[in-house]
Every structure is written in structure tokens, then in C-alpha cells.
């Protein structure tokens, strides 16, 4: 069963996506942002909860986390 995450956790993930997309120059590519969002969500669900850890993992990921 899918569990909803808190607003704070959703904001954390959104800020990570925004920061990584900006750093990688993906801000105008909706498909890449969708893939990045999926990657960050998977990393979050695997247990990464700190912003710095999520950013580092997402920056090094090829989108198949």
C-alpha cells in the first residue's frame, strides 16, 4: 500500500529536484525533470532523508536509482 509523505518531506524532495535540475541545466526539459523527480523519490524511499545526501546521490545518478 502506498503511504503519503508529509508536506515537509515533499518540500524537501521538491527542493532537491529544483537544485539538481538547476545545477545540471535541466530547467527547461520537462521529461528530464520528471525522470529526476522519480530518481529523487526512489532515493528518498530507500532511506536518504538528508538534503545534502539526496543532492549528492541525485547528481551522481543517471536516472536509474
User: Could you tell me the CA-to-CA distances from 44 to 1, 28, 57 in Å, in that order?
Assistant: 17, 24, 10
> Residue 64 has what pLDDT?
52
Q: Hunting for cell 521538491 — which residue is that?
A: 14
Cα separation, 21 vs 36, in Å, equals: 8
Domain positions in the chain: 27-65
pLDDT digits (tens, 9 = 90+) for 1-19: 678 889 999 999 999 999 9
Q: Looking at residue 28, what is its pLDDT?
A: 94
Provide the pLDDT for residue 57.
96
Whether residue 65 is predicted with pLDDT greater than 80 in this model: the reply is: no
Amino acid at each position: 500500500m502506498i503511504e503519503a509523505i508529509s508536506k515537509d518531506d515533499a518540500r524537501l524532495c521538491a527542493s532537491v529536484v529544483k537544485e539538481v535540475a538547476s545545477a545540471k541545466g535541466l530547467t527547461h526539459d520537462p521529461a528530464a525533470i520528471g525522470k529526476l523527480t522519480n530518481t529523487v523519490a526512489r532515493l528518498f524511499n530507500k532511506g536518504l532523508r538528508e538534503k545534502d545526501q539526496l543532492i549528492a546521490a541525485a547528481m551522481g545518478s543517471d536516472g536509474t536509482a
